[in-house]
Amino acid sequence: MGDKRFTAFGGRFLSLRRNPPGGVLSVLKGCVFLTVLVFALSGCGGSVRQAALNTAKSVVEMLSGDVTGEVGKTYATQWFEFTVQSIGEVSEYAGYTPEDGYTLYDVLITETGTFDEASPMGTFDFYMDASSFEDYIYPLDPMSDDMMPMEFDLEPNQTVEYHMVYEIPSNASGVNLMYTEVDAEENEGVTFNIPIG
């Protein structure tokens, strides 16, 4: 079940063959087709060509690089969409208070399943990072029903809303809430960064 979540980019990669079937004739036919296609598109309105370019560009952006996000906006990963509804300091949560020199941050997040099968989710998905941290900081274990479970299955089209509570050094700066796409072979896709201060 775990592997189904980590079929990176749907497992669909383009394969470019060194010797296409059909030899040179197929290559020439392909070139003629592409030339006709280019002229056909140039005869259409500029909006059609621009839409095609925008679609191609958005796919590239989804497959690599970093995305700097912000609170209140929805972002699509390969398996789900998420919206960070709010991030704020709290003095305590469910009766828990931070240790001296630390601050609690309460993150309210909404997630919607977009994969065609259930995706395993949990508190391990979102972490906080800053240049001053030695290691990533993950949410505290759930202490109430409104906190994200350590593990759960997000069904297709299911939407959930949970709190995640982080305990980070009070003097930390440049802190980001982060999510990184990782496939079964440990290949990384997009990293989403949401600055919190």
The reply to whether 56 and 116 lie within a common domain is no
Which of 36, 62, 88 is the last residue in one of the domains? 62
What per-residue confidence (pLDDT) applies to 65?
67
Cα–Cα distances (Å) from 76 to 45, 63, 80, 146, 190, in that order, read: 29, 11, 6, 23, 10
Which of 10, 39, 62 marks a domain boundary?
62
Together in a domain, 109 and 180: yes
Q: Are residues 72 and 57 in the same domain?
A: no
Residues 116 and 31 in one domain: no
* Residues 139 and 48 occupy one common structural domain: no
Encode pLDDT of 76-90 as tens digits: 988 899 999 999 999
**End-of-domain residue from the set 6, 38, 62:** 62
Residue 118, domain member (yes or no): yes
Residue 4 banded pLDDT, cuts 50, 70, 90: very low
- Which residue type sits at 74? T
pLDDT of residue 39 exceeding 50: no
Domain residues for 142?
A: 67-195
Domain tally for the chain?
A: 2
pLDDT digits (tens, 9 = 90+) for 167-188: 999 998 889 999 998 776 777 8
Q: What angle do CA 6, 7, 8 make, to 5 degrees?
A: 90
Instruction: Let me know if residue 10 belongs to a domain.
Output: no
80-123 per-position pLDDT tens digit:
999 999 999 999 999 999 999 999 999 999 999 999 999 999 99
Whether residue 4 is contained in a domain is answered as no
Same domain, 85 and 48: no
**Which two three-digit tokens encode residue 94?**
């469910």
**39 and 109 share one domain:** no
- Going by C-alpha positions, the residue among 106, 111, 87 that lies closest to residue 5 is 111
Burial 153-167 (b: 16+ CB within 10 A, else e): ebeeeeebebbbbbb
Q: Specify the CATH number for the domain of residue 129.
A: 2.60.40.1240
pLDDT greater than 50 at residue 27: no
Residues 39 and 126 in one domain: no
Q: Is the pLDDT of residue 141 over 70?
A: yes
pLDDT at 18 over 90: no
